[in-house]
Amino acid sequence: MPDGHYCSCGNRGCLETVASDIAVLRDLLNADVKVETIEDAIARARDGEPAAVQAFRAMGEALGRGLAVLCNLLNLE
């Protein structure tokens, strides 16, 4: 995504910026959910914290889109 977050590689909108532990922690920080580690985020999601559940849902959707693009690109039979 050209308007996405900056990635550690210097580009914008890389899959890593929306589908990584850092992305989940950033989303929770933006939602004022206090977590320090990805394990904390997982625990909050398992406890039903809406922002944590949404952060992991967004990560899963981004991974799914990325895998779909890869499959289409490779034209797997």
Tokens at 10, concatenated: 């210097």
What is the average pLDDT across 35-60? Answer: 97
Global confidence as pTM: 0.85
Closest to 30 measured CA to CA, from 58, 2, 63 = 58
Tokens at 21, concatenated: 């532990």
Find all residues with CB under 8 Å of 58, minimum gap 6, and list them.
18, 23, 27
What is the average pLDDT across 4-31? Answer: 90
pLDDT digits (tens, 9 = 90+) for 55-68: 999 999 999 999 99
What is the average pLDDT across 10-15? Answer: 86
